[in-house]
């Protein structure tokens, strides 16, 4: 399976690039101005004026992005009554699904655990886009709710270093057409 | 006579106005700076070579086996963190000692422990084949799939324990001395100044060092608890591990120590960067408030590593989300921003050191953007454990901490020789470091957005190209690093020759004639004695609280409680913690009495040793294989439980040999360690 960039990942990558370039530009400008002679009083007057706004901007952005992120938490909630539970057992170095296929459109609750060490369940859809990830831990059950919207083979790779064959520990889960 | 009284010329290497606030470094400060700086840089260089080898392996260019890849990965992680930790410990000590009478003996002990730990990890990985990653996420060390023997796993854990203990010793000395010199914890942290009760603020490096020391002590205690538990598991397979609690402790230790490196560095930057800008950095109320925030955020942000462990309580997930974002504010608004204010229009002196300091600030800012994006839970869901994470922490570790490590050593040598390298060579070096460093992290950012998981010896199909390009950039960064060393080598030779001739001329121990001497302004710290032993329970409130604690803790000896606790390994260990608490409180009470205190004498080194070794030994003995055979014999059983209290008593008496605050805090940490141990270690092998 080859990997492909998802839309969300492209957007996030773009935001990161833009912010990084803005910051880098600011450092270049300040560096170029470092050789000039500006009085300390002026630096303080302008700098502290700007700093208040910088703090306000970061605080406002923080409230917005943290607030928005709380609206989209991936944690399973509520009962599994209208969901198909898929038990996922991991171990060095395998993934086992029970059942291992569901019809397209099924609302699935993945119930993950491990028989030995910590593993990471990274799920890729049939187009090779990373859908999401959750840990599989010994002694615990992590539950992930997803609606399987595409027919085809979903691939799983291990996302938590688990020993010698970590990079080849993969599995698959089939979503059939109706 | 005229020559003796004339005002010396200002050093050429620093800003002319820095003379007003820059004093000559004492010999012990230079010695500690060079020792920690050079050792750390050597370790960073060696680990960098391993990193290049790993990237080439991922690019399918070396033929290195996955087994060897993971050994190198494990060593690279521990070694690199240890290397930069050493440099920054030295850097903070270098700037803190002039204003706080830190004890050289403590810092050398710390150095010995940290370097000893690094050697143990080196042997465990390269000779023993240990390869569970630097996070040694339990219970992975016990599932080697034939890759490493028990001794190498034990040696690796001992190595981590030594590194953690070394940093603990360092932090405790910093905390004891900053609080003693300042007149209390509140003053050292600047609270009295913040609240307007005192007009004078502590020096910025004092505030930073005190915060780092507190968070360092807390996180090293968590690390010791889990490492000691895992060591117990090596010789008793009946010890079980709670994977969730263990993971919390591992990341409280691992994330914090990696994170604290940059805060150690920040404390040094407040003092060193102004020397090139000619403007002193002064503590403000905003600064103190920001560092109070950092005190909390550093200690709580670690659990964003557990976002994808859905069984982690929701309050911890949300708390970590808030803390991870909030941690950005003091960094972005105070430290980085203030440093750029210092530089702006200052006629900044561009030297190798000062350029590296400046570009390192940008790395912290850009790395922080990547970190903040990843700290948002819905985004983390899609980027967790992809190489995006590798990108963001390498951005600020490579492009800030490593550059600042080079900058600190360069600063020492530039001051010593009053020379720097040529502008052309410097520009080429910085260019290589920037292109190589950001190119390398860029390949990880791009591959992370694609969904490539981290820690893969063999890359997913179709993604090897990212590693190939990354390896080229890594090589450029390595060339830049090498170019730095090449520029520093002649300065080091000149500094050595200068020191050697000075020693011959004036005899051993005489330090004179450096550029910094001409700038000397602040008083020499040796005039101020270090903090003295004092009763940790010095007030009626302290005594009353301790007696109340002892009364509660004695419940841990009641037969009904002991019997009930033995139905569960976790509760049994909790009962042991209660017995230890009783012992340590009795020790503190006894040692606080004047007669007993005089009998014990003024032995802070012994006190420190006991307060570290006693709880550690107790936990190593707290394995079912040792205590279960004793439970059938009432006398042996009772003696075992009394021994738990005896370890507490010894630790408590040891704590009374420290400064009052150091004693109380270290006693608290010893008890906290036994509680964390109880939470993480369960019955039944897992």
Task: Check CB contact of A103 with chain B, cutoff 8 Å.
Answer: no
DSSP string for residues in B225-258: HHHHHHHHHHH-TTEEE-HHHHHHHHHHHHHHHH
Tell me, what's the pLDDT at A158?
97
Distance between A57 CA and the closest CA of chain B, angstroms: 10
Dump pLDDT digits (tens) for B449-502.
999 999 999 999 999 999 999 999 999 999 999 999 999 999 999 998 887 776
Dump pLDDT digits (tens) for B349-372.
999 999 999 999 999 999 999 889
Task: Check CB contact of A70 with chain B, cutoff 8 Å.
Answer: yes
Distance between A95 CA and the closest CA of chain B, angstroms: 16
Tell me, what's the pLDDT at A82?
85
Average pLDDT value for residue range A123-127: 96
Q: A4: nearest CA in chain B?
A: B450
| Whether the Cβ atoms of residue B607 and residue B658 lie closer than 8 Å to each other | yes
| Whether the Cβ atoms of residue A23 and residue B365 lie closer than 8 Å to each other | yes
Distance, CA of B639 to CA of B45 (rounded, Å): 52
Tell me, what's the pLDDT at B417?
92
Lowest mean pLDDT across A13-17, A74-78, B543-547: A74-78
Distance, CA of B214 to CA of B616 (rounded, Å): 20
| Whether the Cβ atoms of residue B132 and residue B560 lie closer than 8 Å to each other | no
Average pLDDT value for residue range B550-558: 92
Yes or no, beta carbons of B461 and A2 under 8 Å apart: yes
Yes or no, beta carbons of A163 and B310 under 8 Å apart: no
Chain A positions in Cβ-Cβ contact with residue B358 (cut-off 8 Å)? 27, 31, 34
Tell me, what's the pLDDT at B502?
64
- pTM across the whole model: 0.94
Find the length of chain B: 686
Asked if the model's pLDDT at residue B523 lies above 50, the reply is no
Name residues 117-156 of chain A within 8 A of B (Cβ): 117-118, 120, 122, 124, 128-135, 137-144
Name residues 48-67 of chain A within 8 A of B (Cβ): 51, 54-55, 58-59, 62, 65-66
Tell me, what's the pLDDT at B513?
33
Tell me, what's the pLDDT at B626?
87
Distance between B517 CA and the closest CA of chain A, angstroms: 26
Distance, CA of B552 to CA of A155 (rounded, Å): 55
Q: Which of A47, A117, A157 is facing B143, going by the closest CB pair? A: A117
Tell me, what's the pLDDT at B162?
98
Tell me, what's the pLDDT at B530?
63
pLDDT-derived band at A116 (thresholds 50, 70, 90) equals very high
What is residue B420's three-state secondary structure? Answer: coil
Task: Check CB contact of A32 with chain B, cutoff 8 Å.
Answer: no
Tell me, what's the pLDDT at B521?
38
Q: Residue ranges of the alpha helices (H) in B384-463?
A: 387-396, 403-417, 423-450
Distance, CA of B511 to CA of B503 (rounded, Å): 8
Q: A124: nearest CA in chain B?
A: B451
| Whether the Cβ atoms of residue B522 and residue B547 lie closer than 8 Å to each other | no
Yes or no, beta carbons of B341 and A137 under 8 Å apart: no
Whose CA is closest to B11, among B631, B521, B383, B539? B521
Tell me, what's the pLDDT at B525?
44
Average pLDDT value for residue range A134-145: 96
Q: Give the gyration radius of chain B's Cα atoms.
A: 26
Lowest mean pLDDT across A71-80, B102-111, B224-233, B310-319: A71-80
Distance, CA of B626 to CA of B637 (rounded, Å): 11
Yes or no, beta carbons of B311 and A160 under 8 Å apart: no
Dump pLDDT digits (tens) for B410-441.
999 999 999 999 999 999 999 999 999 999 99
Number of C-beta neighbours around residue B628 at 10 A: 13
Tell me, what's the pLDDT at A80?
74
Q: Which of A38, A122, A132 is facing B345, going by the closest CB pair? A: A38
Give the residue from B21, B142, B332, B345 with the most A CB atoms within 10 Å of its CB, the best one to mutate.
B345
pLDDT-derived band at B528 (thresholds 50, 70, 90) equals low
Yes or no, beta carbons of B453 and A134 under 8 Å apart: no
Task: Check CB contact of A116 with chain B, cutoff 8 Å.
Answer: yes
| Whether the Cβ atoms of residue B471 and residue B59 lie closer than 8 Å to each other | yes
């Amino acid at each position: 399976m080859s990997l492909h960039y998802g839309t969300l990942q492209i957007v996030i990558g773009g935001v990161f690039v833009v912010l990084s370039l803005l910051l880098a530009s600011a450092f270049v400008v300040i560096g170029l101005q470092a050789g000039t002679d500006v009085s300390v009083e002026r630096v303080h007057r302008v700098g502290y004026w700007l700093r208040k706004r910088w703090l306000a901007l970061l605080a406002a952005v923080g409230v917005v992005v943290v607030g928005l992120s709380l609206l989209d938490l991936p944690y399973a909630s509520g009962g599994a009554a209208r969901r198909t539970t898929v038990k996922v057992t991991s171990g060095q170095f395998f993934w086992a699904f029970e059942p291992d296929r569901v019809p397209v459109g099924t609302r699935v609750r993945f119930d993950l655990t491990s028989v030995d060490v910590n593993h990471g369940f990274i799920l890729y859809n049939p187009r090779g886009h990373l859908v999401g990830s959750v840990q599989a831990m010994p002694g615990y059950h992590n539950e992930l709710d997803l609606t399987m919207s595409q027919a085809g083979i979903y691939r799983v790779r291990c996302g938590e270093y688990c020993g010698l064959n970590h990079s080849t520990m993969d599995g698959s889960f089939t979503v059939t057409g109706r | 006579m005229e020559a003796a009284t004339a005002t010396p010329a200002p050093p050429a290497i620093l800003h002319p106005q820095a003379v007003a606030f820059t004093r000559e470094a004492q010999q012990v400060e230079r010695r500690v700076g060079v020792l920690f700086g050079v050792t750390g840089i050597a370790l960073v260089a060696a680990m960098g070579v391993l990193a290049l080898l790993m990237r080439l392996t991922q690019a399918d260019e070396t033929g290195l086996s996955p087994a060897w890849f993971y050994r190198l990965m494990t060593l690279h992680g521990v070694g690199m963190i240890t290397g930069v930790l050493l440099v920054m410990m030295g850097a903070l000590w270098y700037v803190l000692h002039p204003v706080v009478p830190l004890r050289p003996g403590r810092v050398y002990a710390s150095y010995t422990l940290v370097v000893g730990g690094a050697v143990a990890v080196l042997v465990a990985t390269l000779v023993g084949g240990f390869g569970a990653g630097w996070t040694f996420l339990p219970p992975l060390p016990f599932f080697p799939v034939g890759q490493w023997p028990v001794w190498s796993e034990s040696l690796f854990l001992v190595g981590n324990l030594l590194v953690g203990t070394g940093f603990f010793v360092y932090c405790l000395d910093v905390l004891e001395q900053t609080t003693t010199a300042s007149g209390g914890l509140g003053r050292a942290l600047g609270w009295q100044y913040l609240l307007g009760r005192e007009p004078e603020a502590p020096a910025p490096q004092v505030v930073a060092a005190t915060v780092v020391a507190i968070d360092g002590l807390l996180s090293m205690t968590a690390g010791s608890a889990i490492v000691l538990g895992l060591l117990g598991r090596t010789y008793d397979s009946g010890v079980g591990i709670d994977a969730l609690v263990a993971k919390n402790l591992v990341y409280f230790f691992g994330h914090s120590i990696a994170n604290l490196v940059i805060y150690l560095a920040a404390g040094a930057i407040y003092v060193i960067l102004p020397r090139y800008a000619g403007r002193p950095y002064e503590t403000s109320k905003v600064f103190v408030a920001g560092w109070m925030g950092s005190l909390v955020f550093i200690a709580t942000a670690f659990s964003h590593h557990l976002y994808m462990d859905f069984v982690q309580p929701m309050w911890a997930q949300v708390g970590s989300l808030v803390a991870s974002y909030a941690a950005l504010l003091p960094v972005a608004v105070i430290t980085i921003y203030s440093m750029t204010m210092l530089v702006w229009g200052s006629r900044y002196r561009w030297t190798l050191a000062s350029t590296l300091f400046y570009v390192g600030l940008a790395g912290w800012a850009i790395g922080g953007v990547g970190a903040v994006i990843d700290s948002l839970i819905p985004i983390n869901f899609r980027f967790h454990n992809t190489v995006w994470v590798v990108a963001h922490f390498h951005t600020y570790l490579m492009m800030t901490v490593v550059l600042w490590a080079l900058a600190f050593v360069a600063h020492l040598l530039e001051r010593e020789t009053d020379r720097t390298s040529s502008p052309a060579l410097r520009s080429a070096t910085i260019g290589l470091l920037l292109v190589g460093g950001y190119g390398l992290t860029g390949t990880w950012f791009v591959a992370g957005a694609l969904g490539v998981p981290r820690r893969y010896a063999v890359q997913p199909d179709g993604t090897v190209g990212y590693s190939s390009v990354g390896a080229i950039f890594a090589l450029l960064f390595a060339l830049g690093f090498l170019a730095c060393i090449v520029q520093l080598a002649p300065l080091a030779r000149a500094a050595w020759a200068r020191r050697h001739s000075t020693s011959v001329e004036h005899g051993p121990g005489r330090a004179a004639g450096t550029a910094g001497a001409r700038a000397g302004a602040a008083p020499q710290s040796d005039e101020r004695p270090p903090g003295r032993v004092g009763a940790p329970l010095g007030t009626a409130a302290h005594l009353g609280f301790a007696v109340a604690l002892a009364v509660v803790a004695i419940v841990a000896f009641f037969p009904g409680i002991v019997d009930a606790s033995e139905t569960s390994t976790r509760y049994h260990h909790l009962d042991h913690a209660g017995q230890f608490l009783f012992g340590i409180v009795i020790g503190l009470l006894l040692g606080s009495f004047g007669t007993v205190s005089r009998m014990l004498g003024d032995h802070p080194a012994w006190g420190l040793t006991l307060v570290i070794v006693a709880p550690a030994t107790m936990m190593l003995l707290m394995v079912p294989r040792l205590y279960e055979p004793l439970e059938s014999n009432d006398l042996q059983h009772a003696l075992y439980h009394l021994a738990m209290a005896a370890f507490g008593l010894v630790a408590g008496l040891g704590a009374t040999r420290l400064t009052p605050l150091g004693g109380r805090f270290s006693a608290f940490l010893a008890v906290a360690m036994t509680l964390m141990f109880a939470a993480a270690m369960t019955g039944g092998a897992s």
